[in-house]
Structure 1
Amino acid sequence: MSELMSDTRIIDTRLWSNKARNLSPYVPGEQPQHDNLCKLNTNESPFPPSPKVGEAINAVLAEQADELRLYPAPESDDLRAALAQLNGLDSKQVFVGNGSDEVLALVFASFFMKEQPILAPDISYSFYPVYAQTFDVELVQIALADDFSVDADAYSQPCGGIIIANPNAPTGLLLSLADIRKLATEHPDAVIVIDEAYIDFVNTDDSSTDQAVSAISLIDEFDNLLVTQTFSKSRSLAGLRVGMAFGNVSLIEALTRMKNSFNSYPLDKLAQAGATASVLDKPYFEQTCQQVIDLRESLTAQLTTLGYQVLPSHANFIFARPKDGNASMVASALREQGIIVRHFDQPRTQEYLRITIGTAAQHKRLIDALQELSN
């Protein structure tokens, strides 16, 4: 009998498939439930979603509750139309799914199950290796440069596909559109996936970067480019579970075929209504994104004053190294005060903390605690 320990329980794995037994699942960020918790570990928005989201969901419940007995629109037509209009695309170039994680899983199943390996950064979203293992895809991890940037020149080898988070996680660094164009040009027979979970937090006024535009602007130029995004970060809807992809109609058709082979109704009626309302409330979206950018710059300055090395982030988090490099100690000390940040205990990241951008009050609590630690 094969056994695994789960908490204090012994799990009998004798009825499991070899695949289930050998998987190393993704470990999500903690979602603890404690009073007075300062939660800066999972990159959720510090702001509520647009008020129009609640209005749209309540309207469904009040006016169309009887329709909840019916299946939702399988292709989320209204939401896809809103996203297409927002990005200057045709609806046939838009795909939506139950969170960007489901969209990315379908990406692996649709485009990466090939003989050649796929390429991804060695420090990036930690779900990529899990997807590769789940779908029996060979993954070759390309080392980030010494400054943690993605080196596009290192991706010149033959491959079955490339996936890069941009801005990258947990570093927050941005890959230029010129480099994305280079990747798509060099690999015309491989799908290049740019995972833009944090793209809306790029500061368009930042002179340190030569671009601040989504790779969506390139999809009409490259039929092998697919861009994924999410409602979980910039639209404050992590609890609603909505993700999307943009690309050539042939790529979208492949995703749709794969979706309909697993889960033909991925978004329920409430999620579709709420997400569509969020897209249509552009002023609120722009306002909250700018607030996050301003809070990020302020927190970066405060941490720098305390002697932290902070990477130039374009996301709703920062990647910061305490001056003595003892990030594990700092994370533990903060936890004792009810402040949770993310520490990745791997060789190249173990001296850094990833800190989600929170409210001004949360930042004050964090800085006060760090100042106390340094005394």
Structure 2
Amino acid sequence: MSRFWSDHVAGLVPYTPGEQPKVADLLKLNTNENPYGPSPLALKAIKEAADSRLRLYPDPESRALREAIAARHGLAAEQVFVGNGSDEVLAHAFHGLFMRAERPLLMPDITYSFYPTYCRLYGIPCETVALSDDFALDPQDYIGERAQRAAGIIFANPNAPTGMALGLDAIARIARANPDTAVVVDEAYVDFGAESAVALVAELDNLLVVHTLSKSRSLAGLRVGYAMGSAGLIEGLRRVKDSFNSYPLDMLAQAGALAALRDEAYFEKTRQAIMRSRDQLAVDLAQMGFDVLPSMTNFVFARHRSSDAVKLAAALRERRILVRHFALPRIDQYLRITIGTDAECERLCKALAEILGKAQ
């Protein structure tokens, strides 16, 4: 602890991201990165933008990018907010929408672990709502009367780390039952088979939908995320942004993101490949004795019926394969495994077969 810290810093428990080790022949299946790389058009646009214009500040409003996002989703540019990765967009949502006179924020008990981190950072009380025994989210849990009105509701859909998705009817029920409360749906993985709640934005002015280009667009290293919602919600985020950093997206990020969004052919080709590999991996894991949750993401969440998850993860690490383990209640026997190429999934399955064969 440093004597120079602000009063609240000692009490913070920072978010722990997945490992990014620099090891030769390492198979990284721990951080849900896309195995296929960015659109060639995005790479070309980034290179072309790297010229003398970098002496200038970028467009603080990212107008061209916001207009492209709006056009893709049938919205107006004023209904789109962009930021430095969806994590920053979410942080602004916590700051701008959920700090409401000590009222609690509702979230699932098993969800993206950055949400509790933001609550600690901004001093937002949170109340976790248990998922069902099969890890499904029950909309009714967010609809009934509560002793204290919620400051907001947030959940990832599809959920992380379970990979399971909620239908649009259920999302609409939650939002309609809480008309004076912001409902944030984090759709980082929605492009891998789930329905986007963006379709509900026109009729629900309390619904904010957050996307990222890190997963399905293969741009995790560029850091571009965005939110879509009513003009009122977006204005709240903009006020926070312009009180924090007026230029969250640099010229290269804006150029690359815009080109990636325009390359629908590459997007469709790579996401379909990932979904096919995911479905095959789920079958292969089941044949080796794993219980695999139904996934609408670029990862699977699985537990072996007789082998300990920590030992499996350690044995894979010895073979230069990283997967993600969460030492948390209810899910400590599960592994989250990112979908790689077919060859990478085959390498994983061969390693698991060897490990499990030795354990028997």
Band of TM-score, shorter chain: over 0.9
| Pick aligned residue for 1:278 from 260, 280, 285 | 260
Structure 2 counterparts to residues 119-130 of structure 1, below 5 A: 119-130=106-117
Q: Secondary structure at the match of 1:181?
A: helix
In 2, Cα distance between equivalents of 1:119 and 1:352:
24
TM-score of the pair, normalised by structure 1: 0.93
Task: Give how far 1:213 is off.
Answer: 2.0
Q: Which residue of structure 2 lines up, in the alignment, with residue 9 of structure 1? A: none
Offset from partner CA, 1:320-354 (integer Å, 9 cap, x none): 00121511110000000000000001120111000
Letter of the aligned partner of 1:38 in structure 2? L
Offset from partner CA, 1:103-151 (integer Å, 9 cap, x none): 0000001000012111000100000000001011010010110001111
| Pick aligned residue for 1:246 from 212, 216, 228 | 228
In 2, Cα distance between equivalents of 1:289 and 1:190:
34
1:360 counterpart = 2:342: yes
In 1, Cα distance between equivalents of 2:79 and 2:286:
43
Offset from partner CA, 1:228-271 (integer Å, 9 cap, x none): 01000000000000000000011111111110000000000000
Letter of the aligned partner of 2:70 in structure 1? A
1:177 counterpart = 2:168: yes
Structure 2 counterparts to residues 27-46 of structure 1, below 5 A: 27-46=16-35
**Does the 8 Å CA contact 1:325/1:352 hold for their aligned counterparts?**
no
> Any unmatched runs of 5+ in structure 1?
4-12, 203-211
Structure 2 counterparts to residues 211-250 of structure 1, below 5 A: 212-250=194-232
**Does the 8 Å CA contact 1:96/1:103 hold for their aligned counterparts?**
yes
In 1, Cα distance between equivalents of 2:46 and 2:322:
31
Q: Which residue of structure 2 lines up, in the alignment, with residue 206 of structure 1? A: none
How many corresponding residue pairs?
352
Q: Which residue of structure 1 lines up, in the alignment, with residue 132 of structure 2? A: 145
Q: Which residue of structure 1 lines up, in the alignment, with residue 53 of structure 2? A: 67
Q: Which residue of structure 1 lines up, in the alignment, with residue 141 of structure 2? A: 154
| Pick aligned residue for 2:251 from 255, 269, 278 | 269
Structure 2 counterparts to residues 12-91 of structure 1, below 5 A: 13-61=2-50, 65-91=51-77
1:105 counterpart = 2:94: no
Q: Secondary structure at the match of 1:264?
A: coil
Letter of the aligned partner of 1:47 in structure 2? Y
In 1, Cα distance between equivalents of 2:352 and 2:40:
35
Q: Which residue of structure 2 lines up, in the alignment, with residue 371 of structure 1? A: 353
Q: Secondary structure at the match of 1:188?
A: coil
In 2, Cα distance between equivalents of 1:300 and 1:317:
10
Q: Secondary structure at the match of 2:20?
A: coil
Task: Give how far 1:45 is off.
Answer: 0.3
| Pick aligned residue for 1:194 from 181, 185, 193 | 185
Task: Give how far 1:17 is off.
Answer: 1.0
Q: Secondary structure at the match of 2:300?
A: strand
> Any unmatched runs of 5+ in structure 2?
none
Structure 2 counterparts to residues 301-340 of structure 1, below 5 A: 301-340=283-322
User: Matched residues, percent identical?
Assistant: 53
In 1, Cα distance between equivalents of 2:207 and 2:356:
47
Q: Which residue of structure 2 lines up, in the alignment, with residue 7 of structure 1? A: none
In 2, Cα distance between equivalents of 1:28 and 1:60:
30
In 1, Cα distance between equivalents of 2:232 and 2:212:
21
Q: Which residue of structure 2 lines up, in the alignment, with residue 132 of structure 1? A: 119
Q: Secondary structure at the match of 2:243?
A: helix
Q: Secondary structure at the match of 2:44?
A: helix
**Does the 8 Å CA contact 1:121/1:144 hold for their aligned counterparts?**
yes
In 2, Cα distance between equivalents of 1:58 and 1:252:
31
In 2, Cα distance between equivalents of 1:238 and 1:20:
28
Root-mean-square deviation over aligned CA pairs: 0.8
In 1, Cα distance between equivalents of 2:181 and 2:109:
19
TM-score of the pair, normalised by structure 2: 0.97
In 1, Cα distance between equivalents of 2:56 and 2:355:
56
